[in-house]
């Protein structure tokens, strides 16, 4: 008879790792699956954070440190948690009250069935990056990552807005989130100067705003002396000098202390739960009840199927992901085991 775990957890970012730790402290049997430990194709988002000012105890440490520390605590609980890394979870169904998760080993293609009484999905989101093709070595989305890893480009104003005080900042994007971020960096965080670089798009292009609303935003940017550059970005420079420089396609060079990638959106890693016809918010994030059980499109919680962390319509933060994970584990322990 194949083992039935108390819980299968998909994704070993902060949410999934904390779910595994909480489960092990309750002596539950758990399977923890992650696609990319040791690979660079898809990673926990927190790996791009060089310092986590707003995570107590980690204000001088990186996202990688945090994942390593959590993995080390998990090493002490090998009796409870089986880790299936370098394995992608590819499908999830529920048969006679038991969840059946199919995983595929990345290198060999080997498929495995993992059965569990409950499932926690913590597959997160991926930041969509600007395509900057003219970079000499790197193609497509990659050029921005070394700047993010060096703490020169940020993604999240809640996490890093305060680091822009007194600094010149280039905000990359064209959406209303971009303009809101640019204004907020000046008004809330005291950035010295902010510029918007739309990378070839027209500002507010494709946004669900009427002309009057657009004019109001553009007028505010003008009054705040926030310039808008609508040329494409041809290249980046400044890593060695610890600055964020841009070469525009018209040949202009603009130089900033810091950059903010606000290119607008995420890829939401929700394939695994799509067949359950989940309820999502207008932006596509998964909606849950207070216990973090996924809701169906009709608003009914799905028994024993939890969704936690960035995948949900909540703040995209480590401590929020941790809290989701703990709530889910305590609920499944109390309710289904």
Ligand X SMILES: Cc1cc2nc3c(=O)[nH]c(=O)nc-3n(C[C@H](O)[C@H](O)[C@H](O)COP(=O)(O)OP(=O)(O)OC[C@H]3O[C@@H](n4cnc5c(N)ncnc54)[C@H](O)[C@@H]3O)c2cc1C
- Positions in 72-91 near ligand X (CB under 6 A): 88-89
Contact between 245 and ligand X by CB under 6 A: the answer reads no
Cβ proximity of 8 and 116 under 8 Å: yes
Joined together, the tokens standing for residue 48 give 């791009």
Minimum gap (Å) between residue 128 Cβ and ligand X: 11
Distance CA 74, CA 17 (A): 8
The answer to whether 45 touches 145, Cβ cutoff 8 Å, is no
Note whether 336 and 118 are within 8 A (CB).
yes
Three-state secondary structure call for residue 303: strand
Both tokens assigned to 331: 């609920």
Binding piece for ligand X, criterion CB under 6 A, among 110-118, 216-224, 230-238, 318-326: 318-326
Interface region with ligand X, contact rule CB under 6 A, candidates 13-21, 182-190, 193-201, 291-299 = 13-21
Stretch that binds ligand X, among 123-131, 211-219, 273-281, 284-292 (CB under 6 A): 123-131
DSSP secondary structure string, 216-247? HHHHHHHHTT--EE-SPEEEEE-TTTT-EEEE
Q: Give the nearer residue to ligand X in terms of CB position, either 114 or 302.
A: 114
Residue 279 contacts residue 271 (beta carbons within 8 Å)? no
Build a one-symbol-per-residue string for 287-316: x at contacts with ligand X by CB under 6 A, - elsewhere: ----------------------xx-----x
264 makes contact with ligand X (CB under 6 A): no
Please list, in sequence order, all residues whose beta carbon lies within 8 angstroms of the beta carbon of residue 37, skipping any fewer than 6 positions away: 12, 85, 86
Give the x-and-dash track for 157-186 against ligand X (CB under 6 A): --x---------------------------
- Residues at the site binding ligand X, with contacts judged by CB under 6 A: 10-16, 33-36, 42-46, 48-49, 52, 54-55, 88-89, 122-124, 127, 148, 155-156, 159, 269, 272, 309-310, 316-319, 321
């Amino acid at each position: 008879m194949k083992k039935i775990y108390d819980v299968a957890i998909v994704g070993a970012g902060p949410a999934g790792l904390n779910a595994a730790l909480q489960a092990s402290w309750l002596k539950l049997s758990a399977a923890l699956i992650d696609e990319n430990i040791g690979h660079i194709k898809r990673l926990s988002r927190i790996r791009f954070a060089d310092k986590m000012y707003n995570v107590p105890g980690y204000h001088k440490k990186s996202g990688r440190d945090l994942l390593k520390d959590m993995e080390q605590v998990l090493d002490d609980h090998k009796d409870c948690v089986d880790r299936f890394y370098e394995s992608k979870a590819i499908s999830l169904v529920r048969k006679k009250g038991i969840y059946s998760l199919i995983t595929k080993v990345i290198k060999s293609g080997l498929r495995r069935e993992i059965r569990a009484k409950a499932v926690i999905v913590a597959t997160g989101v991926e930041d969509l990056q600007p395509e900057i093709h003219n970079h000499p070595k790197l193609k497509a989305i990659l050029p921005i990552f070394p700047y993010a890893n060096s703490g020169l480009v940020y993604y999240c104003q809640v996490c890093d807005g305060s680091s822009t005080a007194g600094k010149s900042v280039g905000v990359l994007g064209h959406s209303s989130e971009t303009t809101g971020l640019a204004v907020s960096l000046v008004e809330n965080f005291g950035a010295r100067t902010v510029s918007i670089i739309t990378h070839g798009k027209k500002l507010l292009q494709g946004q669900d705003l009427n002309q009057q609303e657009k004019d109001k935003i553009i007028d505010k940017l003008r009054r705040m002396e926030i310039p808008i550059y609508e040329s494409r970005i041809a290249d980046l420079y400044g890593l060695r000098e610890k600055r964020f420089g841009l070469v525009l396609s018209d040949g202009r060079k603009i130089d900033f202390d810091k950059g903010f990638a606000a290119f607008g959106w995420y890829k939401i890693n929700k394939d695994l739960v799509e067949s359950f016809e989940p309820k999502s918010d207008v932006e596509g994030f998964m909606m849950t009840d207070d216990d973090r059980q996924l809701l169906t499109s009709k608003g009914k919680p799905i028994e024993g199927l939890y969704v936690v962390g960035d995948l949900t319509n909540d703040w995209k933060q480590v401590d929020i992901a941790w809290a989701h994970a703990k709530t889910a584990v305590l609920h499944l322990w109390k309710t289904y085991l």
